[in-house]
């Protein structure tokens, strides 16, 4: 981590040398002025006692300047540090992280929950990364401040240096207490999240509140929320109190020693020495607390530094290898040869030794129950993951040797779990191919009536998050479909449950346009359309139907062939067919 | 409410502007409101908090006097003077170690009570139309006071800070007394520049706060685009469509729009801070010299000099802070929001007449501020124990009808009589991050009934899910909880159904199922509908489904069209009638045999 901090430190110096230098200057000035406070006050008291007016004037002015400088520089130091941390973190580090994440060809890091947990920590924490080296620097300066303070005391009477081990013990007890507090905060986090969920997602959210109102359970939910809140509060306060007890014990020790020291000074030293000792002694608390607080803060930055380091190492390992450009048209098609895929961290074969030929210019449907491996197969075709065994060949060329970016530039997709972009309708669609016209795509997705109903048409803001219009599931799906249609002639068009939330007439309209479009594209480039669906409406018209079960390809053929076969496909089809057949007459 | 204050940002801004023009009385009024929140702290803790603050506030004066005494003792009584100083230091240090604990507990109690009040406001009556209003939602967002960034402050922060401020002024009087012991004019000589420092700081921070808040929408946007780079759904699309760099660019645009002005204000503020240096250093130098000179000339003792020197400085430290303004300003917005909510949210529930089964007579309804008549004279009756299926085209108003049935909206005219309580499975049912047992038993208000829980889960088809849960009924249904698991969409739907069934086992006589199988696969759905009659025996059921093949199993089918029930009867009767239902059914059946599926789904109206 030290290396990483050092790198971040150099980044700050490179980007903002003046600001970085200023912070170091302020830290040094703070150190000097803090030490000067005690010394100048002693001089002041001594000069008053001795009646040296010139010395008095200098001492008075210096004491005033030392006090004020310490105060002002303290303020400025903090705000400058925040300022620099924001500038470096928010404008440099966070975009770097975003690109780092997005430039990874595969998305395992976004799908695995243990990786996702790490990445979540980084969101909105760019400034904490930018601040990481400065937190360390500040805690070093604060420790120096402590040492200087004690050195000044030692100049009064070397015996006072014995306070140093006492301060050390005090620091130790204080940081011990602090660890208790941090542990308590972590322990309270779950109840904290639970109470927030029950409050924000349930009690005051109109969507959920209607269920609460109907069931008449508002007081029970409120009680559950209150209990979680109180538990979290108790745990946190318990940690703070434990931390308080440790530091109080530490202070009792230190104050006892310090009182003895003052007694010594009062008995042997001058009045000025007494003033110096007391002033420094009382400021020591703030100094020690700062050291502990800032060191803990610097240590806490580990929580963001660790995922940052992890992501960079992970990305460095998986940098995409350059490959040959993707073909511009397909002649033969895509061939799967014994393709097997196991999700990292699991042992089950999500796709198990699948072999199939997807002919150029065809519409292929993937059918199967939940978890049968359809979506994984789609992801393999998009190079979102690579087979653990077996091969995928595009016109005979192995897919891994094809450049990922150019392969994707030649495809388009609408996934089951699609993005709901909280921006204007036009932009949400245009994301499908930035800079291209969207009108044809909107028509292809049967979304014209949706646009007509939006208050500002294309310019309507979508989604509740930024005060836009909230769409129904089906309407969001149309936006996603339109986005998938912006690229005019994809070589590979992947549709994973594209119409699950649409009503039947819409689905039918879209599907008919799709088929027509797919045929047109097929004629132009030999492009392949792959559709995953539970719907027989979508499936029946395909050139090839692949039936998956538990990761294996169990049936393949046309609708008529498969219904005659009497296997899984015929069975699933039969469940729905019988609902119409049995009693209608 | 002002038209401009439609967005959260707008409201915060407008409130801030109003505050700045407010008379002193208005400010005092707001500050008293913050202090009144402390009633939720409880007398003992409040007394403790005041004591802690008081010790902190009196400490500088006490140390000044004790140090002075020590300097002045000259030989005798050194021991006792040292012990007094030691005692003061010990007390001060020890007490302030517990300050964070006491402060957090007190502030936490204020916030807890605030949240309880807000939940109660939101759910105290059938307030759905009011709750759904945009302006109410914006106010709730403000009143929620979940600190997301430094400008968000909770009522607890504000109340505690305000109390500390009051006590700090008491401490100030004690320091002033130390100064006055030397000469009264020291008080204005120190207090006036110290207050000038405070005014400067408060002014600066308030200005900075405004600059920051003015761009808060950009801050939210920036966080949003930042998040997208780490989400799987958007990440997949960013790769396919190649807009990863565009996301980073969009993020940066919002960063610059928000923080550009904030950063220039930072620089301006940093320059202004040097005024504080002058405001502090010049008067202090004068006072120190004057008092030192006086001491040298025999006016007053070294002890007094020491006390004055220390006390003068501590006054600057006590007064010259401005950051507390953030807590006060930030939380006042929250307190004002909850006041507005108390006015805007009605306390009276919608009155639903009791009846047996369900009876709608001439019910008309339009959403507030819209012109479309959603329901235009609906007559519908469901006898006790009868199962009625409601069908209709997109936007026919089926979901609206269920909300009226549940007493969430008041009809504009006509009467609704329902045998309450009612159990409803909404399309967007709640996924509580609680145990399975809680998720199911939250279906009704009665005390938890173990037998009903088990039978409801069994009948909903949850046996399979249950057997795989590590702690059975007590397993939290959220991975974020310790020992918790995430369920799939289909499994959640079974939980929602179990919740409604539980309600019917514990008193509800009417069950409304609004598309209860949307996330289920073909097999599970067929199985569930096959058992529906058996598991809802004796209960009046209103079923909304878009699969006409399943709907026909109901005792009676009602067609909602043009805001009225246009056809009703058994499936066979309606088919024989040859009306709209028969046509719809024929289209679907034909579509199915042609390979098209039989769903006719309701699109939400905008």
Q: Is B292 within 8 Å of A536 when comparing Cβ atoms?
A: no
Tell me the mean pLDDT in the region B7-33: 53
Q: Same domain, yes or no, for A191 and A300?
A: no
Q: Same domain, yes or no, for A144 and A64?
A: yes
Q: Is A255 within 8 Å of B89 when comparing Cβ atoms?
A: yes
Q: Same domain, yes or no, for A93 and A139?
A: yes
Residues sharing a CB contact under 8 Å with residue B443, sequence separation 6 or more, in sequence order: A215, B423, B456, B498, B499, B500, B501, B502, B503, B506
pLDDT at B16: 44
Where are the strands (E) in B292-418, listed by range? 353-354, 358-365, 375-382, 387-392, 413-418
Size of interface A-B (CB pairs under 8 A): 484
CB of B73 within 8 Å of a chain A CB? The answer is yes
Q: Is A83 within 8 Å of B481 when comparing Cβ atoms?
A: no
pLDDT at A154: 86
Q: Same domain, yes or no, for A151 and A163?
A: no
Work out the minimum CA distance from A50 to partner chain B, whole angstroms: 7
Q: Same domain, yes or no, for A152 and A27?
A: yes
pLDDT at B9: 39
Task: Enumerate the β-bridge partners of residue B375.
Answer: B365
CB of B197 within 8 Å of a chain A CB? The answer is no
Which residues in chain B are closer than 8 Å to A409, comparing Cβ atoms? 242
A335: nearest Cα among A361, A363, A365, A358: A358
Which residues in chain A are closer than 8 Å to B485, comparing Cβ atoms? none
**From B70, B98, B126, residue closest to A213, measured CB to CB:** B126
Pairing type for strands A349-359 and A333-342 reads antiparallel
Q: Is A102 within 8 Å of B245 when comparing Cβ atoms?
A: yes
Q: Check whether B299 has a pLDDT greater than 90.
A: no
pLDDT at A112: 76
* CB contact at 8 A, A289 and A283: no
- Label residue B74 by pLDDT band (50, 70, 90): low
- Label residue B396 by pLDDT band (50, 70, 90): confident
Q: Check whether B20 has a pLDDT greater than 60.
A: no
Q: What is the DSSP string of B484-526?
A: --PPPHHHHHHHHHHHHHHHHHTT--EEEEESTTTTS-HHHHH
- Label residue B584 by pLDDT band (50, 70, 90): confident
Tell whether omega for the bond before B413 is within 30 degrees of 0, i.e. cis. Answer: no
Q: Check whether B501 has a pLDDT greater than 90.
A: yes
CB of B9 within 8 Å of a chain A CB? The answer is no
Which residues in chain A are closer than 8 Å to B64, comparing Cβ atoms? none
What would the two tokens of residue B467 be?
């057997």
Q: How many domains are there within chain A?
A: 4
Cβ-count burial of A231 within 10 angstroms (0-12 exposed, 13-18 middle, 19+ buried)? middle
Which residues in chain B are closer than 8 Å to A123, comparing Cβ atoms? 223, 226-227, 230
Q: Same domain, yes or no, for A391 and A524?
A: yes
Q: What class has domain B353-593?
A: alpha beta
Region at A421 (left for phi over 0; alpha for psi -120 to 50; beta for the rest): beta
Q: Is B289 within 8 Å of A60 when comparing Cβ atoms?
A: yes
Number of Cβ within 10 Å of residue A418's Cβ equals 22
State the Cα–Cα distance between residues B417 and B357, nearest whole angstrom.
Answer: 8
Cβ-count burial of B246 within 10 angstroms (0-12 exposed, 13-18 middle, 19+ buried)? middle
B322: nearest Cα among B204, B213, B210: B204
Which residues in chain B are closer than 8 Å to A196, comparing Cβ atoms? 146
Q: Is B552 within 8 Å of A583 when comparing Cβ atoms?
A: yes
Substitution target in B243, B430, B502, B586 with the highest count of A β-carbons within 10 Å is: B430
Please give the residue range of the domain that contains residue A195: 159-167+178-259
Span of A395-404, B82-91, B594-603 with lowest mean pLDDT: B594-603
State the Cα–Cα distance between residues A465 and A451, nearest whole angstrom.
Answer: 20
Token look-up 């599926």 returns B597
pLDDT at A157: 85
State the Cα–Cα distance between residues A496 and A378, nearest whole angstrom.
Answer: 8
Report how far Cα B412 is from the mean position of its chain's Cα atoms.
31
Q: Same domain, yes or no, for A356 and A499?
A: yes
CB of B241 within 8 Å of a chain A CB? The answer is yes
Substitution target in A16, A36, A64, A455 with the highest count of B β-carbons within 10 Å is: A64
**From B71, B222, B406, residue closest to A214, measured CB to CB:** B406
Q: Same domain, yes or no, for A102 and A144?
A: yes
| Positions of chain A with pLDDT lower than 70, given as ranges | 1, 285, 499-508, 534-535, 537-538, 576-585
Domain boundaries, chain B: 8-344, 353-593
Number of Cβ within 10 Å of residue B370's Cβ equals 9
Mean pLDDT of all residues belonging to chain B: 84
Q: What is the DSSP string of B162-220?
A: HHHHHHHHHHHHHHHHHHHHH-TTHHHHHHHHHHHHHHHHHHHHHHHHHHHHHTHHHHH
Q: Which of residues 445-464 of B touch A (CB under 8 A)?
A: 445
Work out the minimum CA distance from A547 to partner chain B, whole angstroms: 15
**From B123, B588, B597, residue closest to A203, measured CB to CB:** B123
- How many residues does the structure list for chain B? 606
B456: nearest Cα among B482, B480, B436: B436
Substitution target in A197, A210, A561 with the highest count of B β-carbons within 10 Å is: A210
Asked if residue A173 is part of any domain, the answer here is no
Q: Same domain, yes or no, for A511 and A528?
A: yes
**Could you tell me the CATH number of the domain that includes residue A395?**
3.40.50.300
Asked if residue A264 is part of any domain, the answer here is no
Q: Same domain, yes or no, for A197 and A302?
A: no
CB of B146 within 8 Å of a chain A CB? The answer is yes
CB of B108 within 8 Å of a chain A CB? The answer is yes
Token look-up 């807590």 returns B327
Which residues in chain A are closer than 8 Å to B101, comparing Cβ atoms? 237, 240-241, 243-244
Helices B302-319 and B186-214: angle between axes, nearest 10 degrees = 20
ipTM of the prediction = 0.89
Token look-up 């690229």 returns A487
CB of B370 within 8 Å of a chain A CB? The answer is no
Q: Is A98 within 8 Å of B251 when comparing Cβ atoms?
A: yes
Q: Is B70 within 8 Å of A266 when comparing Cβ atoms?
A: yes
Token look-up 């889960």 returns B457
Residue B444: C-alpha distances to residues A224, A321, B434, B535 (Å)? 15, 58, 15, 18
**From A215, A225, A534, residue closest to B503, measured CB to CB:** A215
Instruction: Give the CATH number of domain B8-344; options: 3.40.50.12780, 1.20.1560.10, 1.10.4160.10, 3.40.50.300.
Output: 1.20.1560.10
Q: Check whether B36 has a pLDDT greater than 70.
A: yes
Q: Is B85 within 8 Å of A262 when comparing Cβ atoms?
A: yes
Work out the minimum CA distance from B113 to partner chain A, whole angstroms: 9
* CB contact at 8 A, A305 and A132: yes
Pairing type for strands A544-549 and A552-557 reads antiparallel
State the Cα–Cα distance between residues B328 and B31, nearest whole angstrom.
Answer: 8
Tell me the mean pLDDT in the region B406-416: 88
Q: Is A102 within 8 Å of B408 when comparing Cβ atoms?
A: no
Q: Same domain, yes or no, for A340 and A330?
A: yes
Substitution target in A214, A253, A504 with the highest count of B β-carbons within 10 Å is: A214
- Label residue B510 by pLDDT band (50, 70, 90): very high
Q: Same domain, yes or no, for A199 and A279?
A: no
CB of B71 within 8 Å of a chain A CB? The answer is yes
């Amino acid at each position: 981590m030290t290396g990483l901090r050092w790198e971040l430190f150099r980044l700050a110096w490179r980007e903002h040398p003046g600001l970085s230098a200023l912070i170091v200057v302020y830290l040094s000035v703070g150190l000097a002025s803090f030490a000067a406070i005690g010394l100048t006050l002693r001089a002041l008291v001594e000069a008053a006692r001795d009646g040296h007016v010139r010395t008095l004037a200098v001492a008075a002015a210096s004491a005033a300047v030392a006090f004020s400088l310490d105060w002002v520089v303290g303020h400025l130091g903090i705000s400058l540090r925040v300022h620099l941390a924001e500038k470096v973190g928010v404008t440099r580090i966070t975009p770097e992280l975003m690109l780092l994440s997005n430039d990874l060809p595969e998305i395992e890091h976004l799908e695995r929950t243990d990786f996702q947990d790490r990445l979540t920590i980084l969101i909105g924490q760019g400034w904490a990364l930018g601040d990481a080296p400065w937190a360390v620097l500040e805690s070093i300066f604060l420790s120096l401040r402590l040492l200087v303070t004690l050195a000044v005391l030692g100049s009064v009477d070397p015996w006072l240096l014995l306070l140093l081990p006492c301060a050390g013990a005090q620091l130790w007890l204080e940081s011990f207490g602090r660890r208790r507090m941090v542990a308590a905060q972590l322990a309270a986090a779950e109840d904290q999240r639970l109470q927030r969920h029950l409050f924000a997602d349930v009690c005051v959210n109109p969507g959920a509140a209607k269920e609460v109102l109907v069931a008449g359970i508002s007081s029970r939910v409120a009680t559950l929320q209150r209990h979680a809140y109180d538990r979290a509060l108790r745990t946190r306060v318990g940690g703070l109190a434990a931390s308080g007890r440790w530091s109080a014990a530490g202070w009792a020790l230190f104050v006892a020693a310090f009182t003895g020291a003052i007694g010594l000074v009062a008995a042997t030293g001058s009045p000025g020495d007494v003033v110096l000792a007391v002033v420094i002694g009382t400021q020591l608390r703030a100094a020690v607390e700062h050291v502990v607080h800032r060191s803990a803060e610097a240590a806490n930055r580990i929580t963001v530094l660790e995922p940052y380091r992890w992501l960079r190492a992970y990305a460095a390992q998986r940098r995409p290898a350059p490959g040959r450009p993707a073909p511009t048209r397909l002649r033969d098609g895509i061939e799967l040869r014994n393709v097997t895929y196991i999700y990292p961290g699991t042992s089950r074969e999500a796709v198990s030794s699948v072999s199939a030929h997807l002919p150029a210019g065809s519409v292929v449907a993937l059918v199967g129950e939940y978890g049968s491996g359809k979506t994984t197969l789609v992801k393999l075709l998009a190079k979102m993951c690579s087979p653990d065994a077996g091969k995928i060949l595009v016109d005979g060329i192995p897919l891994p040797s094809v450049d990922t970016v150019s392969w994707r530039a030649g495809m388009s997709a609408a996934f089951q779990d699609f993005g709901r972009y909280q921006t204007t309708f036009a932009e949400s669609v245009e994301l499908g191919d930035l800079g291209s016209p969207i009108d044809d795509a909107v028509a292809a997705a049967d979304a014209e009536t949706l646009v007509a109903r939006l208050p500002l048409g294309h310019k309507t803001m979508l989604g509740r998050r930024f005060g836009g219009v909230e769409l129904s599931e089906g309407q969001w799906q149309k936006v996603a479909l339109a986005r998938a249609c912006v690229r005019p002639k994809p070589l590979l068009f992947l549709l994973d449950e594209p119409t699950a939330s649409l009503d039947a007439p819409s689905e039918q309209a879209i599907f008919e346009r799709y088929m027509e479009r797919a045929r047109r594209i097929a004629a132009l480039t030999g492009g392949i359309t792959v559709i995953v669906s539970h719907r027989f409406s979508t499936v029946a018209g395909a050139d090839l139907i692949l039936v998956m079960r538990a990761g294996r390809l169990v049936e393949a053929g046309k609708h008529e062939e498969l219904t005659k076969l009497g296997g899984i496909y015929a069975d699933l089809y039969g469940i729905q067919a019988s609902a119409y057949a049995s009693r209608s007459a | 409410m002002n038209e401009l204050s439609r967005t959260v940002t707008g409201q915060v801004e407008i409130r801030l502007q109003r505050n700045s023009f407010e008379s002193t009385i208005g400010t005092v009024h707001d500050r008293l409101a913050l202090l009144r929140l402390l009633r939720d702290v409880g007398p003992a803790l409040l007394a403790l908090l005041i004591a802690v603050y008081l010790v902190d506030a009196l400490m500088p004066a006490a140390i000044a006097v004790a140090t002075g005494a020590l300097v002045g003792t000259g030989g005798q009584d050194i021991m006792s003077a040292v012990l007094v100083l030691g005692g003061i230091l010990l007390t001060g240090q020890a007490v302030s170690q517990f300050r964070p604990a006491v402060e957090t507990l007190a502030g936490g109690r204020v916030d807890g009570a605030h949240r309880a009040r807000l939940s109660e406001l939101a759910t105290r009556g059938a307030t759905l139309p009011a709750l759904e209003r945009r302006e109410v939602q914006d106010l709730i967002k403000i009143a929620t006071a979940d600190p997301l960034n430094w400008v968000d402050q909770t009522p607890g922060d504000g109340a505690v800070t305000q109390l500390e401020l009051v006590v700090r002024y008491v401490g100030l009087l004690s320091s002033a007394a130390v100064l006055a012991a030397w000469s009264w004019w020291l008080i204005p000589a120190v207090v006036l520049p110290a207050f000038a420092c405070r005014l400067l700081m408060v002014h600066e921070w308030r200005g900075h706060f405004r600059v920051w808040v003015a761009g808060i929408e950009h801050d939210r946007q920036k966080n949003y685009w930042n998040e997208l780079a780490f989400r799987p759904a958007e990440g997949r699309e960013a790769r396919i469509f190649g807009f990863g760099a565009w996301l980073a660019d969009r993020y940066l645009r919002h960063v610059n729009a928000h923080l550009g002005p904030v950063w220039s204000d930072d620089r301006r503020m940093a320059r202004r801070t040097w005024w504080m240096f002058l405001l502090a250093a010049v008067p202090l130098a004068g006072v120190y010299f004057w008092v030192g000179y006086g001491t040298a000339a025999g006016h007053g003792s070294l002890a007094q000099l020491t006390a004055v020197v220390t006390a003068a400085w501590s006054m600057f430290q006590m007064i010259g802070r401005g950051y507390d303004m953030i807590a006060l300003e930030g939380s006042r917005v929250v307190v004002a929001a909850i006041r507005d909510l108390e006015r805007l949210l009605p306390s009276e529930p919608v009155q639903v007449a009791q009846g047996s089964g369900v009876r709608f007579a001439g019910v008309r309804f339009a959403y507030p501020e819209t012109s479309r008549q959603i329901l235009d004279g609906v007559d519908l009756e469901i006898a006790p124990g009868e199962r009625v299926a409601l069908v209709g085209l997109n936007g026919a108003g089926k979901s609206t009808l269920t909300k009226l049935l549940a007493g969430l909206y008041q009809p504009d005219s006509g009467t609704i009589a329902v045998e309450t309580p009612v159990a409803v499975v909404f399309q967007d049912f709640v996924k509580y991050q609680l145990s399975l047992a809680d998720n199911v038993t939250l279906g009704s208000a009665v005390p938890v009934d173990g037998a009903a829980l088990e039978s409801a889960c069994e009948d909903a088809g949850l046996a399979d899910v249950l057997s795989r849960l590590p702690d059975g009924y007590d397993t939290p249904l959220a991975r974020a909880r310790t020992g918790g698991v995430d369920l799939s969409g289909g499994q959640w739907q079974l939980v929602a159904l179990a919740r409604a069934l539980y309600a019917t086992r514990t008193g509800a006589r009417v069950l409304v199922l609004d598309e209860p199988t949307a996330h289920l696969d073909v097999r599970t759905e067929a199985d569930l509908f096959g058992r529906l009659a058996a598991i809802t025996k004796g209960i009046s059921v209103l079923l909304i489904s878009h699969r006409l093949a399943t709907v026909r199993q109901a005792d009676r089918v009602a067609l909602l069209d043009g805001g009225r029930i246009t056809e009703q009867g058994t499936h066979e009767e309606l088919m024989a009638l040859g009306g709209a239902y028969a046509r719809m059914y024929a289209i679907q059946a034909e579509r199915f045999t042609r390979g098209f599926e039989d769903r006719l789904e309701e699109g939400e109206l905008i």
